Structure 1
Amino acid sequence: MAGDGTIGKACDVLEQVAAFERPVRFGELLESSAFPKATLYRFLQSLTNQGMLHYEPERQTYSPGMRLVRLAHSAWTQSSLAPIARPYLDALSQETGETVHLAQLDSGQVLYVDKRNAQRPIEMYSEAGKVGPAYCTGVGKAMMAHLDEAQLKKTISQQSFHRFTDKTLASEEALRADLELIRSRGYAVDDEEHEPGIICISCPILTTGGRMLGALSVTGSTGRMDFEQLESWVPRVRRVAEQIGTEAQAWRFPEGQQNRMQAT
């Protein structure tokens, strides 16, 4: 973030506060902060004065402010696929009875923008608003497989290749081989690569011109299904992903608009 100056540093502080997922005291922030005490305090004061953070005097804690909430809501409605995809996710969840995820890429990572729980919920990492790794999740690999080479190279450079399980693809070579397979068959799988016992199939959400917008997945547990059962849903998930992509392109992400943005 050094190249982004003060704004980048302020964003780092905002993310640090948000990462606690609860009101947090100054001392807790200082323990994990890259900034000196005086600098951190100055950023917290400025962000509080601007309404980006809220300070509770009695408890002496910081939490995301209402101005940040308003901006987040605006971003969700204007830039996220979630409002468009909501009815499709509802229908797919009811039809499969399994967990359904909607995701987009954010700085090389997976941002879960919406989720429907299974009829018999299973515990897993993903929640709407959470960020996860791209290289070892079905939605992440489905999206990466449809990036152009320049975008893909940058995204791969942002992966940690930490081995979460003994099935995690822990190298660029293994990942690229899997991405080639995904392109050829049209969908991705997560075979317990991120979490033990969790498997999924995922299809990319593309415009008619092939531009990647996000990914859709159906997730299950090895305790109650195998891949043959899960893969039976691929045609349905693919159709739903196509429907979301078509509607998103027409309403929010038109190809012409994207081309104008790239030309400027």
Structure 2
Amino acid sequence: MPLGKGELTTTATSLHILELIVDHGWVTLRGLVEETGLAKSTVHKHLSTLRANDYIVKEGERYTLGLYFLTVGKRAVEFRESYQLVEQKVRELGSRTDAEVDFTVEENGRLILMFEAAGATNESTFGTGTEFFLHNTAAGKAILATYADSKRDEILDTQGLPATTNKTIQSREALHAELEQVRENGYALNDGECVEGYRTVSSVIKRPNGSALGAISAGGPAYRIDQSRLKNELADHVRSATAEVTESLVEAQSTL
């Protein structure tokens, strides 16, 4: 576990242990000692600190995440007032199109699903908090298309271009060409690149300063969403929705 510049060893170790619990769902003291190579007493101290601050709980010999994370996640959303406006728009669009609609944001080079709606006769395929790569999702490509080359390349250097289906973009040249198309169209497409048989179209919401807040996507399984509907009806809907939210954010700032 290499440390970055300015990182505290103790804090980094606690966070690493926490990440292992996230990855595994639950861990034991013995298992953590074996996986980290740290002394038993050291691991126990880190676990005790995390328990004392409600980040984890102990059930028998197992340690798992505490429900306090629900409170933390909720506060993270509440502090971003613009998200409330976006959530309302996502629900409206889901009801109007009866497609799967969601809002995702980029953080630390990954795409995080924040809100979703599925309409009256549909069910959501993913769930709030689901993480995705950027290069193989419509929302990710829509957001990448707004970034400077340096920021885009930094993300790709870190995350790479892992393939999740046989349609996933595997070269930077192909991705760059598609991002140019995204800029021209005002929306991005994904046809089975992230999940086989799943299609989406996405457009970016911009902050008043012009940077990307996140992206609204609409789509669903290929048997429900054909190419024509994706590129026409749903593309028009997401572009209209993101333009409306972008305009509302500008108006809200102008009244401050």
TM-score (norm 2): 0.86
Q: 1:2 to 1:92 in 2, by over 3 A?
A: same
Query: Per the alignment, in what secondary structure is the counterpart of residue 127 of structure 1?
Result: coil
Matched to 2:28, the amino acid is F
3-state SS, counterpart of residue 156 of structure 1: helix
- Are the counterparts in 2 of residues 81 and 113 from structure 1 also a CA contact under 8 Å? no
- Structure 2 SS opposite 1:223: coil
Q: Which residue in 1 is equivalent to 2:16?
A: 12
Is the contact between residue 98 and residue 122 of structure 2 (CA under 8 Å) also seen in structure 1? no
Scaled by the length of structure 1, what TM-score is found? 0.83
Alignment size in residue pairs: 249
Structure 1 residue aligned with 2:127: 127
Runs of 4+ in structure 1 off by over 6 angstroms are none
Q: Does 1:192 align with 2:192?
A: yes
Partner of 1:108: 109
* Residue matched to 1:260: none
How far, CA to CA, are the matches of 2:30 and 2:123 in structure 1?
A: 32
In 2, Cα distance between equivalents of 1:123 and 1:208: 31
Structure 2 residue runs without a partner (length 5+): none
1:47 partnered with 2:50: yes
Check conservation: 1:109, 1:133, Cα contact below 8 A.
yes
What's the CA shift for 1:41? 3.0
Contact 1:16 / 1:29 at 8 angstroms: preserved in 2? no
Deviation (angstroms), 1:120: 4.0
The Cα offsets for residues 130-177 of structure 1, whole Å up to 9 and x where unpaired, read as: 111111011111111111222212112122312222211012221111
Secondary structure (helix, strand or coil) at the match of 2:127 reads: coil
Query: Could you tell me which amino acid in structure 1 is paired with residue 20 of structure 2?
Result: Q
Q: Sequence identity, in percent?
A: 21
**Aligned counterparts of 1:145 and 1:32: Cα–Cα separation in 2:** 43
Aligned to 1:85: 86
Q: Which region of structure 1 is more displaced relative to structure 2, 222-231 or 102-111?
A: 222-231
Please name the residue that 2:148 is paired with. Answer: 148
Q: Structure 1: how far apart are the matches of 2:3 and 2:203?
A: 36
Query: What CA RMSD, in Å, does the superposition of the two structures yield over aligned residues?
Result: 2.6
How far did residue 35 of structure 1 move? 4.7
Q: CA deviation at 1:103?
A: 0.3
Alpha-carbon distance in structure 2 between the residues aligned to 1:184 and 1:33: 49
* Secondary structure of the corresponding residue to residue 162 of structure 1: coil
Code of the residue aligned with 1:225 in structure 2: it is I
* Structure 1 residue 250: Cα displacement: 5.6
